[in-house]
Amino acid sequence: MNSRQDQPTYPTALGASSLHTITLLGQDLADDVMGKVGFGELAFWLATQRRPTTGEVRVFEAVLAALADHGFTPTAIVTRLTYLSAPDSIQGALAAGLLGGGSRFLGVTEDTGKFLHTVLAGIEGELPTAHSDWDKVALEVVQNRRAENAFVPGLGHHVHKQGDPRTPRLMQIATEEGLFGPHLALFAAIGRVHPQVLGKTLPLNGAGVCGAALADLGLPLQLLRGFALLARTAGLIGQLAEELHRPVGNDIFLSVDLHNESVDPEPYPYSS
Amino acid sequence: MNSRQDQPTYPTALGASSLHTITLLGQDLADDVMGKVGFGELAFWLATQRRPTTGEVRVFEAVLAALADHGFTPTAIVTRLTYLSAPDSIQGALAAGLLGGGSRFLGVTEDTGKFLHTVLAGIEGELPTAHSDWDKVALEVVQNRRAENAFVPGLGHHVHKQGDPRTPRLMQIATEEGLFGPHLALFAAIGRVHPQVLGKTLPLNGAGVCGAALADLGLPLQLLRGFALLARTAGLIGQLAEELHRPVGNDIFLSVDLHNESVDPEPYPYSS
Amino acid sequence: MNSRQDQPTYPTALGASSLHTITLLGQDLADDVMGKVGFGELAFWLATQRRPTTGEVRVFEAVLAALADHGFTPTAIVTRLTYLSAPDSIQGALAAGLLGGGSRFLGVTEDTGKFLHTVLAGIEGELPTAHSDWDKVALEVVQNRRAENAFVPGLGHHVHKQGDPRTPRLMQIATEEGLFGPHLALFAAIGRVHPQVLGKTLPLNGAGVCGAALADLGLPLQLLRGFALLARTAGLIGQLAEELHRPVGNDIFLSVDLHNESVDPEPYPYSS
Amino acid sequence: MNSRQDQPTYPTALGASSLHTITLLGQDLADDVMGKVGFGELAFWLATQRRPTTGEVRVFEAVLAALADHGFTPTAIVTRLTYLSAPDSIQGALAAGLLGGGSRFLGVTEDTGKFLHTVLAGIEGELPTAHSDWDKVALEVVQNRRAENAFVPGLGHHVHKQGDPRTPRLMQIATEEGLFGPHLALFAAIGRVHPQVLGKTLPLNGAGVCGAALADLGLPLQLLRGFALLARTAGLIGQLAEELHRPVGNDIFLSVDLHNESVDPEPYPYSS
């Protein structure tokens, strides 16, 4: 409770309104935000309560573009099937798709950002500046993960085996904007050194580089998955718009239902 | 089924990838989208499969700004409480909040856009150009609604009783960009003429003007609610970020739980 | 507000607890509910705030059984795909599946219950008792719908074209329990008379008869869809359990993703 | 892929239908399930693909009763607020409530079941039978958790500080049905021995004992949270039914919105 007994108040710097004005983030919504602040810029501002620079917006929007839509992912299929089944509820179709944004498909962004951050937080003294120093840090990181028999988040891709085109592009954009920070530097170093530990070359994937870039932008680490979900919301609206004009949901449903194979129940083994 | 028996294919112009490239909307994602296309622009493009003009992006992003966050709405409270209860699932907290985006709170945008569109579709011959001609159309619209004892979507606001500041501002931006189309023209006319039918002056509300502007942009009418939800996703991330730093979810929960009043069950009357 | 200014209280007859006791619906949870009240019985009690009779529980649970699982429906596929994508969130996988419980797939139960109820509410004087009198009512109902070019809810099934086995069975159970009320009577009459209006014989479907039975039980009409969702929650847990032991989610995903067909973007026609 | 190339089939022992019959779990749905299988029994069967005994059903339904509704929890509030905001979508209101069923509020059941199971899996040789032998195991468990500075799942309750009435009651029911297995035995032993390690007596809570009982029933450990959600679905329907007759959602919303306190934005500290 944060005020007199029985009646807490609820502080917020987000939206507020009175008879004649609406404010958002302390700004006059109509005069200072509408028509003046882009949507990516606003999303960044809402998440950090500070207005981003033009360069930060460019990197941030590049990340959102990279994550917006990946074709017929489970989340896209889910949104289309839910719309097929409940066309009266657009909010339900979008929410259902977002619920697939968990550890496996959309989680890499968050996992990579957090992983890199933990490594950086453990470095005593100043952070490296030279490539060769970053490489030493990265080498130890990869060796440790290997010793723990654990993956390095952000490394490897099932399609782009020879390199994910988003990765060098996002690094280039961050560099152009002077925002190639320690998370990206460490991630890049991991890309350089891991073959000498793992004995094979894996690509730094796009979801991972996005996590590194978002962390370098100072966005809240606990919410990195949230930005992937924001990007995906735009993508899922695109999936719904396409479903309206070029429907495939019913075909997907039938391709499963017509190939069901009825089998006998088989009591599951007790877990114990 | 859209191809040889047993094996439908699923056409899409959205995301696709091969060993070396990723395309989105027929563009090379890395080279042509990342760093070059803003997030609002991309969301518009995904929803229409055509690249918007700079002016269209400005109007569209003004709408998203207008709808992003309205403080402690039910959706914002729901996202904070769900995060309190299940902090392991950001996607669940966002999805829960979006599920409140239904007919009552976020539906006005969609309802207004569809309503105006239906009126326009019923006009025979050319659309009006002069204010006075729009006023005649609007007068008939308001009279008809009144005769049906029905509200005019987008008219009235429980706080901004003397005018919603978003409405003139969005009309101004649309005008500046040459995008003040028939939906906005009709909506404005309703604002001018309704007092002579209803006997009182109600404000044209912000949610309604957003619906009119989105319809003028040619966005799919069935998905207008989706754009409100996209805007709100950014707002809900802002709510979560603030909850991390200035938590109120537990206070809200306790303020309800501690003031519960245990009453006797009372069998509900049969509906029949 | 329902109490002194600034501090509403929130009345409820549902769960409440104090240092030593927990009550639910005015009962002592531990002593009077646990071990003594079945789950179907409890769900009915929670929804009506009155304890159902044994017969009511039997009809209610027969409805839940009829609606629990229908194989690879969109909702089942959605739950499996969401689990594939976000295995860390069982609640997300179940919620995503339930979101498909809208107008098209699960809505028939609610639509039929409400439709029958509206007809009954419009009958002046006493309700019929004889078959022949119900037939007269039903005949008019079907004729009116035909005149409006509208479907009769609950009539027709894409698989069980010669009769849905759940329909006579549920009517039998309701009869055995003395709970074959006016909604079921009208629904049965519609089954008898519609061929003379429509010129073909359609089955009374299982979802529809469930709606009629739930309405006869006096359950809240606005929540009939909720009971279908309760039944389906059990079914979706079954889908998840089977997915753990006999996974098909990834095969479903790949069968779509591998057969995507990249096409050129095609600007959607303006709605206006 | 589990069949010929290009066309997987999808095996299931759950619902299947053909022109004249519907089967569920290998049973004829109309003849063998409807009217003969209770809802709790069916939910158990669906989750394990084996029909439970009468005793198993009684314990299972006692668990569901214990978890169905706990008054104005965050999940209950969320369902009411979502219904307030989107009354057109019952499925959305229920789904939103279930999304709060995560680690903090509903997770104790799953955590306790899994924790006990891990301990049992680590016992070499035969499991204890005597109280005193269970106590030795429990003592080591509690000491280890303490050494790791970790909580023992299922221990402690913020209201029922002197004992949760559900705990002895569920143990009694399990004993009566001959289903007091090793998970419950270990949990009870933890209740007996923890004071000598922790220096204070904490209650074994109801959510925890439910997890122990579900694990003893052989239900899938990965889905224990799912049963809590099934129980809660019934509870949330109760919340919605009560909201229809004794609404509090709008009061809750206003009690927050009217006590919002507008503060200046404060840029969040960089995580790094």
Q: How does pLDDT run across D206-243, given as a tens digit for each residue?
A: 999 999 999 999 999 999 999 999 999 999 999 999 99
Handedness of CA A86, A262, D10, C160 (dihedral sign): negative
- First-to-final CA distance of chain B: 45
- Beta strands across the sheet bearing D16-17: D16-17, D22-24, D27-28
In tens, the pLDDT along C208-220 reads 999 999 999 999 9
Angle formed by the axes of helices D206-216 and D54-67, to 10°? 160
Q: Confidence band (pLDDT; 50, 70, 90) for D6? A: low
> Angle CA(A235)–CA(A241)–CA(A246) in degrees, nearest 5?
115
In tens, the pLDDT along A53-91 reads 999 999 999 999 999 999 999 999 999 999 999 998 999
D33: which chain C residues are within 8 Å (Cβ-Cβ)? Answer: 65
In which element (H, E) is residue C11 found?
A: strand C10-12
Q: What is the pTM of this model?
A: 0.96
Instruction: Give yes or no for a contact between D95 and A95, defined as CB atoms under 8 angstroms apart.
Output: yes
pLDDT at C137: 97
Q: Which two tokens stand for residue A50?
A: 């500070």
pLDDT at D270: 57
> B6: burial class by Cβ within 10 Å (0-12, 13-18, 19+)?
exposed
Q: Given an 8 Å threshold on Cβ–Cβ distance, is A85 in contact with C92?
A: no
Return the CATH architecture of domain B107-217.
Answer: Orthogonal Bundle (1.10)
Chains A, C: CB pairs < 8 Å:
142
Question: Quick check: A251 pLDDT over 90?
Answer: yes
Min CA distance, A185 vs chain B (Å)? 19
- The 3-state secondary structure of chain D reads CCCCCCCCCEEECCCEECCCCEEECCEEHHHHHCCCCCHHHHHHHHHHCCCCCHHHHHHHHHHHHHHCCCCCCHHHHHHHHHHHHCCCCHHHHHHHHHCCCCCCCCHHHHHHHHHHHHHHHCCCCCCCCCHHHHHHHHHHHHHHHHHCCCCCCCECCCCCCCCCCHHHHHHHHHHHCCCCCHHHHHHHHHHHHHHHHHCCCCCECHHHHHHHHHHHCCCCHHHHHHHHHHHHHHHHHHHHHHHHHCCCHHHHHHHHHCCEEECCCCCCCCCC
pLDDT at B1: 38
Q: Given an 8 Å threshold on Cβ–Cβ distance, is A49 in contact with B239?
A: no
Measure the CA–CA gap between A141 and A105, rounded to whole angstroms: 24
Which residue reads 């453990």 in tokens? A122
Measure the CA–CA gap between A79 and A165, rounded to whole angstroms: 27
- Give the best residue of D119, D261, D264, D266 to mutate against chain A (max A CB count within 10 A): D261
Worst-scoring range by mean pLDDT, B129-138, C59-68, C248-257, D156-165?
D156-165
Of B216, C32, A162, C225, give the one whose Cα is nearest residue D65: C32
Min CA distance, B13 vs chain C (Å)? 5
pLDDT at C159: 86
pLDDT at D4: 42
- Beta strands across the sheet bearing C16-17: C16-17, C22-24, C27-28
CATH superfamily of C107-219: Cytochrome P450-Terp, domain 2 (1.10.230.10)
Instruction: Give yes or no for a contact between D102 and B89, defined as CB atoms under 8 angstroms apart.
Output: yes
The percentage of chain C sitting over the pLDDT mark of 90, rounded to a whole number, equals 88
Q: Given an 8 Å threshold on Cβ–Cβ distance, is B255 in contact with D257?
A: no
3-state secondary structure of B80: helix
pLDDT at A7: 74
- Minimal Cβ distance to C102: which of A74, A87, A107: A87
Measure the CA–CA gap between A238 and B12, rounded to whole angstroms: 10
Q: Confidence band (pLDDT; 50, 70, 90) for A272? A: very low
In tens, the pLDDT along D27-59 reads 999 999 999 999 999 999 999 999 999 999 999
Q: Given an 8 Å threshold on Cβ–Cβ distance, is D85 in contact with B104?
A: yes
3-state secondary structure of A149: coil
Measure the CA–CA gap between B256 and B254, rounded to whole angstroms: 5
The chain B residues in contact with chain C (CB within 8 A) are 7-13, 16, 23, 25-26, 48-50, 86, 88-89, 91-92, 95, 99, 117, 120-121, 182-183, 215, 218, 220-221, 256, 259-268, 270-272
- Minimal Cβ distance to B223: which of A42, A48, A237: A237
pLDDT at C271: 52
Min CA distance, C144 vs chain B (Å)? 22
Q: Which two tokens stand for residue D129?
A: 């039978």
> Angle CA(C40)–CA(C41)–CA(C46) in degrees, nearest 5?
100
How long, in residues, is chain B?
Answer: 272
Chains B, C: CB pairs < 8 Å:
118
Q: What is the C-alpha radius of gyration for chain D, rounded to an integer number of angstroms?
A: 22
> D143: burial class by Cβ within 10 Å (0-12, 13-18, 19+)?
middle
B91: which chain C residues are within 8 Å (Cβ-Cβ)? Answer: 86, 89, 92
The percentage of chain D sitting over the pLDDT mark of 70, rounded to a whole number, equals 97
In tens, the pLDDT along A21-51 reads 999 999 999 999 999 999 999 999 999 999 9
Taking residues B254-271, report their average pLDDT. Answer: 85
Domain boundaries, chain C: 36-100+223-250, 107-219
Pairing between β-strand B16-17 and β-strand B22-24 as defined by DSSP bridges:
antiparallel
3-state secondary structure of A12: strand
In tens, the pLDDT along A123-170 reads 999 999 999 999 999 999 999 999 999 999 999 998 888 899 999 999
DSSP bridge pairs for B11: C261
Angle formed by the axes of helices C39-48 and D39-48, to 10°? 130
In tens, the pLDDT along C24-75 reads 999 999 999 999 999 999 999 999 999 999 999 999 999 999 999 999 999 9
Min CA distance, D226 vs chain C (Å)? 7
pLDDT at C4: 41
pLDDT at A6: 62
Q: Count of alpha carbons within 13 Å of B135, Cβ hemisphere only?
A: 9
CATH of A107-220, one of 1.10.10.10, 2.102.10.10, 3.40.50.150, 1.10.230.10: 1.10.230.10
Q: Given an 8 Å threshold on Cβ–Cβ distance, is D61 in contact with C39?
A: yes
In tens, the pLDDT along B102-113 reads 878 788 999 999
Measure the CA–CA gap between B125 and B128, rounded to whole angstroms: 9
State which fold the D107-218 domain adopts. Answer: Cytochrome p450-Terp; domain 2 (1.10.230)
Min CA distance, C28 vs chain B (Å)? 13
In tens, the pLDDT along D130-185 reads 999 999 999 999 999 999 999 999 999 988 888 999 999 999 999 999 999 999 99
- Minimal Cβ distance to B102: which of D88, D95, D241: D88
Q: What is the ipTM of this complex?
A: 0.95
Question: Quick check: B271 pLDDT over 80?
Answer: no
